[in-house]
Structure 1
Amino acid sequence: MNLFDYLFQSTRYCLVSCIANKINSQVFELKITVFLFWSRHLTRGRLALASWGKPWVFALVAAGLLPRLVAAQGPGQVAGTLLDQATRQPLPFANVLLLRLPDSTLVGSAQTAENGTFALAGVAPDTYLLRAEALGYRPARRLVTLRAGAPVLRLGEWLVAPAAVRLGGVVVQGEKAVVVNELGKTIVNVDKDLNSVGGTAVDVLQKVPAVAVDDNGQVSLRGSTSVTLYLDGKPAPSSLRLDQLPASRLATIEVITNPGAQYSAQGTGGIINLVQKKQTQPGWNGSALATVGTRDKYSAVLDLNRRVGKFNFFGSANAVDNRFRGSSGLQQVATADGRTSRTDQTGQNLRHQASKDLQLGVDYAPNDQERFTLATELYKSDLHQTSDFATRLTRGADPAIVLQNQNLEVDDLYNARISGSYRRTWAAHPGRELTASATYILDGGTVTTEQRVLDGPADYARQARQQLLDVTIHLPSAQVDYAHPLDDKRRWGAGLKTDVMVTPGTADYSVQPVPGAPFVRQEAGSYRYRYQQVIPQAYGNYQQKAGAWDYQVGLRAEFTGLQAQVLPTGSASQRIFNLFPAATVARTLAHEQRLQLSYARRLNRPNFLQIIALPIYSDARNYTVGNPDLRPEYVHVAELGHQVAWQNTTLSTTLFGRFASQSIQSLRTIDTVATRLSGQPDFIARTGYANFGHTASYGLELSLTRPLTAWWKLTANGSFFRSQVASYAGDGTRANFTGTAYLLNTFSPTKALALQLSGNYRAPLVVPQGRLLAVYGVDVALRQRLFNDRAALTLRVSDLFNTRRQSTQLAADGLTADLQSKYETRVGYLGFTWFLGNNKPASTIENQPKGDTGGFGG
Structure 2
Amino acid sequence: MYRFISSVLLIYALTLSYSFSQTNGSLRGTVIDGVNSRPLGFATVNVLNPDSSIVGGFVTQDDGIFLIENLKAGIYLIRISFLGYETIFIPDIRIKTTEQTSLNEVKLQPKGITKNEVVITAEKNIISSNAEKKVFNVDPSLNPGASAAEVLQQLPSVTSDQDGNISLRGEGSVLILIDGKPSALSGNGGNLLQQINASSIEKIEVITNPSSRYDADGSNGVINIILKKNTRQGANCLMNISYGSWNKNTSGISANYRGKKSNFFINGNYRYIPVFTLGDVEREYRLDKNPFEYDQTLDGYNYPHNLSFRGGADFNFNETHALSMSSSLGYNPTLINETYTYMVVSDSSKIILNNTLFNRINNPASNFEHTISYRWTNPRSGSVVNIAGAWSRNQDKRDIDGWRYDLDPYHTLIDSSLVRLNSIFKNRNDIIVAQADYEESIFKTWKLESGLKATLRFIDNSYYGDKTKEQVLAVDTNNNAIQYKDQIYAIYGMLSGNVGKTSIRAGLRAEQAYRNFTVTRMDLPFTNQRLNLFPSLFVTHKLTKNINASVSYSKRINRPSVQTLNPFPDNNDPNNQIIGNPYINPEIIHALELGGQWNSSNSTLTLTLYMRQTLDKIQRIRVTEGLISTIQFLNLNSAMNTGAEAIWRYDWAKWMNTTLSGNAYSIYLNSENIGDAINTRGWTCTGKLLCIIKPTKFFDIQINSNYNAPFITPQGKIRAIYYTDLSVKKDILRKRGSLTLGILDVMDTRQFGINTLYQNITQDVIRKRESRILNVGFNYRFGKNENTAQRKKNITDEFGGGGD
TM-score tier after normalising by the smaller chain length: 0.7 to 0.9
Deviation at 1:298, TM superposition (A): 0.7
Deviation at 1:373, TM superposition (A): 1.7
Among 330, 340, 365, which residue is 1:379 paired with? Answer: 330
AA of the residue aligned to 1:442 = R
Deviates more, 1:337-346 or 1:771-780: 337-346
Alignment of 1:225-236 (within 5 A): 225-236=172-183
Deviation at 1:216, TM superposition (A): 1.3
AA of the residue aligned to 1:606 = P
Cα 1:153–1:384 change in 2 (3 A) is closer
Q: Which residue of 2 aligns with 1:58?
A: none
Residues 258-303 of structure 1 show CA distances to partners (whole Å, capped at 9, x for unaligned) of 1111100000011111111111223321211111001110111111
Deviation at 1:837, TM superposition (A): 0.8
Q: Which residue of 2 aligns with 1:290?
A: 241
Q: Which residue of 2 aligns with 1:752?
A: 698
Cα 1:602–1:697 change in 2 (3 A) is same
Deviation at 1:666, TM superposition (A): 1.6
Pairing 1:587–2:541 present? yes
Q: Which residue of 2 aligns with 1:69?
A: none
Deviates more, 1:455-464 or 1:637-646: 455-464
AA of the residue aligned to 1:529 = I
Do the aligned residues in 2 keep the contact of 1:723 with 1:766 (CA within 8 Å)? no
Among 731, 737, 753, which residue is 1:807 paired with? Answer: 753
Stretches of structure 2 that go unaligned for 5 or more consecutive residues are 1-23, 409-413, 791-804
Pairing 1:416–2:416 present? no
Q: Which residue of 2 aligns with 1:848?
A: none
Do the aligned residues in 2 keep the contact of 1:587 with 1:596 (CA within 8 Å)? yes
Q: Which residue of 2 aligns with 1:47?
A: none
Alignment of 1:606-645 (within 5 A): 606-645=560-599
Deviation at 1:717, TM superposition (A): 1.7
Cα 1:133–1:363 change in 2 (3 A) is same
Do the aligned residues in 2 keep the contact of 1:211 with 1:740 (CA within 8 Å)? no
Secondary structure in structure 1 of the residue aligned to 2:175: strand
Q: Which residue of 2 aligns with 1:565?
A: 518
Deviation at 1:356, TM superposition (A): 0.7
Aligned equivalents of 2:498 and 2:273: distance in 1? 52
Residues 668-695 of structure 1 show CA distances to partners (whole Å, capped at 9, x for unaligned) of 212x3xx5xxxxxxx1122121112322
Aligned equivalents of 2:118 and 2:91: distance in 1? 30
Among 192, 217, 222, which residue is 2:169 paired with? Answer: 222
Secondary structure in structure 2 of the residue aligned to 1:376: strand
AA of the residue aligned to 1:721 = Y
Pairing 1:768–2:720 present? no
Q: Which residue of 2 aligns with 1:785?
A: 731
Do the aligned residues in 2 keep the contact of 1:184 with 1:641 (CA within 8 Å)? no
Aligned equivalents of 1:150 and 1:386: distance in 2? 70
Do the aligned residues in 1 keep the contact of 2:603 with 2:651 (CA within 8 Å)? yes
Cα 1:815–1:639 change in 2 (3 A) is same
Q: Which residue of 1 aligns with 2:502?
A: 549
Aligned equivalents of 1:451 and 1:336: distance in 2? 32
Q: Which residue of 1 aligns with 2:61?
A: 113
Cα 1:450–1:661 change in 2 (3 A) is farther
Alignment of 1:691-770 (within 5 A): 691-726=635-670, 730-731=676-677, 734-770=680-716
> Structure 2 length normalisation: TM-score?
0.87
Aligned equivalents of 1:292 and 1:365: distance in 2? 40
AA of the residue aligned to 1:424 = W
Quote the sequence identity (%). Answer: 26
AA of the residue aligned to 1:779 = D
Cα 1:317–1:122 change in 2 (3 A) is closer
Secondary structure in structure 1 of the residue aligned to 2:277: strand
Pairing 1:212–2:212 present? no
Deviation at 1:364, TM superposition (A): 2.1
Secondary structure in structure 2 of the residue aligned to 1:751: coil
Aligned equivalents of 1:145 and 1:381: distance in 2? 55
Cα 1:143–1:606 change in 2 (3 A) is same
Deviates more, 1:807-816 or 1:323-332: 807-816
Aligned equivalents of 2:739 and 2:167: distance in 1? 33
Aligned equivalents of 2:546 and 2:41: distance in 1? 16
Aligned equivalents of 1:629 and 1:700: distance in 2? 34
Deviation at 1:98, TM superposition (A): 6.8
Q: Which residue of 1 aligns with 2:16?
A: none
Cα 1:686–1:218 change in 2 (3 A) is same
Higher helix share: 1
Aligned equivalents of 1:155 and 1:312: distance in 2? 21
Secondary structure in structure 2 of the residue aligned to 1:234: coil
Q: Which residue of 2 aligns with 1:493?
A: 449
Cα 1:666–1:235 change in 2 (3 A) is same
Cα 1:838–1:693 change in 2 (3 A) is farther
AA of the residue aligned to 1:402 = N
Pairing 1:445–2:389 present? no
Q: Which residue of 2 aligns with 1:817?
A: 763
Give the superposed CA RMSD.
3.1
AA of the residue aligned to 1:499 = T
Residues 28-70 of structure 1 show CA distances to partners (whole Å, capped at 9, x for unaligned) of xxxxxxxxxxxxxxxxxxxxxxxxxxxxxxxxxxxxxxxxxxx
Residues 617-638 of structure 1 show CA distances to partners (whole Å, capped at 9, x for unaligned) of 1302022122110110010111
Do the aligned residues in 2 keep the contact of 1:565 with 1:572 (CA within 8 Å)? yes
AA of the residue aligned to 2:494 = N
Q: Which residue of 1 aligns with 2:463?
A: 507
Aligned equivalents of 1:424 and 1:702: distance in 2? 41
Q: Which residue of 2 aligns with 1:17?
A: none
Q: Which residue of 1 aligns with 2:631?
A: 687
Do the aligned residues in 2 keep the contact of 1:637 with 1:656 (CA within 8 Å)? yes
Secondary structure in structure 2 of the residue aligned to 1:203: helix
AA of the residue aligned to 1:590 = T
Aligned equivalents of 2:99 and 2:457: distance in 1? 53
Stretches of structure 1 that go unaligned for 5 or more consecutive residues are 1-74, 676-682, 845-858
Q: Which residue of 2 aligns with 1:657?
A: 611
Residues 438-467 of structure 1 show CA distances to partners (whole Å, capped at 9, x for unaligned) of 111222121234543355134995313232
Q: Which residue of 2 aligns with 1:483?
A: 439
Cα 1:173–1:375 change in 2 (3 A) is closer
AA of the residue aligned to 2:108 = V
Cα 1:669–1:305 change in 2 (3 A) is same
Do the aligned residues in 2 keep the contact of 1:165 with 1:174 (CA within 8 Å)? no
AA of the residue aligned to 1:219 = I
Secondary structure in structure 2 of the residue aligned to 1:243: helix
Aligned equivalents of 1:96 and 1:785: distance in 2? 36
AA of the residue aligned to 1:725 = L
Aligned equivalents of 2:508 and 2:98: distance in 1? 39
AA of the residue aligned to 1:497 = K
AA of the residue aligned to 2:355 = L
Q: Which residue of 2 aligns with 1:668?
A: 622
Cα 1:737–1:336 change in 2 (3 A) is closer
Q: Which residue of 2 aligns with 1:847?
A: none
Among 768, 773, 782, which residue is 1:836 paired with? Answer: 782
Aligned residue pairs, count? 752
Aligned equivalents of 1:460 and 1:687: distance in 2? 32
Aligned equivalents of 2:323 and 2:101: distance in 1? 30
Among 228, 232, 237, which residue is 1:277 paired with? Answer: 228
Aligned equivalents of 2:697 and 2:757: distance in 1? 55
Q: Which residue of 2 aligns with 1:527?
A: 480
Do the aligned residues in 2 keep the contact of 1:163 with 1:175 (CA within 8 Å)? no
AA of the residue aligned to 1:703 = I
